[in-house]
Copies of this chain bind each other. A is one copy, B any other.
Amino acid sequence: MAANLKPGTTKARILDTTAELFMRYGYTGTGLKQIVADANAPFGSLYHHFPGGKQELGVEVIHRSGAMYLELVLGVFDAAPDIVTGVHDCFAGAAEVLRATDYADACPIETVALEVASTNEPLREATAEVFESWIEGATEKFRAAGIDDSTARELSISVIALLEGAFVLARASRATEALDAAGKTAAAAVEAALRR
């Protein structure tokens, strides 16, 4: 588990490095040699810690990145005075990170999810589990604000879809216009749900 993993160890460095590379170059575009080189780890260590090779490493990175990103977003959410502001702040924060990283750091698993959807069943399942955990996390927040169950889930899916879709447009265009527009639409959708 990622919980009981000491930072700074070889395994931790491999996981962190792989997460970073997956976000930028995807699963197929990230080589194991590049991972160990960037992580300053000997090649053998990779197969010592991940006997299942690239796929086992990939599954663990997806779950780990997914959990960390959920915590990050929930943190932004909870810091806001209300959920409409919270949703807005998530999109604004994502735009800021994109600009600061030269449009490289967006969603940690989106590229991988599309790459493996039709090619690697264990990895596809891992991405599906992460997205479902995000949907459930957001649904809980919306329900706590008084939105009914069914609407809360639809709203969660839509907000996450807006964010993921805006990431694609923003990275392709190297501009944050898409995140601004999608953020406004997401906030408006939440407002509308609150008024029901």
The CA-CA distance from A21 to B142 in the complex, in Å, is: 39
Q: Which residues of B contact A97 (CB under 8 A)?
A: none
Instruction: Count copies of this chain in the complex.
Output: 2
The answer to whether A145 has its CB under 8 Å from any CB of chain B is: no
Q: Which residues of B contact A114 (CB under 8 A)?
A: 26, 110-111, 114, 167-168, 171
Do A185 and B160 form a contact, CB below 8 Å, given A113-B172, A115-B25? no
Q: Is the interface of A mostly helix, strand, loop or mixed?
A: helix
Question: Which of chain B's residues have a CB closer than 8 A to the CB of A146?
Answer: none
Docked pose: A64 CA to B51 CA in angstroms: 42
Chain B residue, CB-CB nearest to A183: B158
Contacts of A185 in B (CB 8 A): 154-155, 158, 161-162, 185, 189
Chain B residues lying within 8 Å of A160, measured Cβ to Cβ, are: 165, 169
Shortest beta-carbon distance, A110 to chain B, in Å? 6
Most buried by B among A161, A167, A171, A185: A161
Interface centre among A29, A102, A166 (most CB of B within 10 A): A29
Would B115 and A26 count as touching, CB distance under 8 A? yes
Per the 8 Å Cβ criterion, residues 101-159 of A in contact with B are 102-104, 110-111, 113-115, 117-119, 124, 127-128, 131-132, 153-155, 157-158
Beyond contacts A128-B173, A192-B192: 20 other A-B pairs, Cβ-Cβ < 8 A, are A24-B118, A26-B26, A26-B114, A26-B115, A28-B29, A29-B115, A103-B118, A110-B114, A111-B115, A128-B172, A132-B173, A154-B184, A157-B182, A160-B169, A161-B168, A162-B165, A163-B165, A164-B169, A165-B168, A185-B185
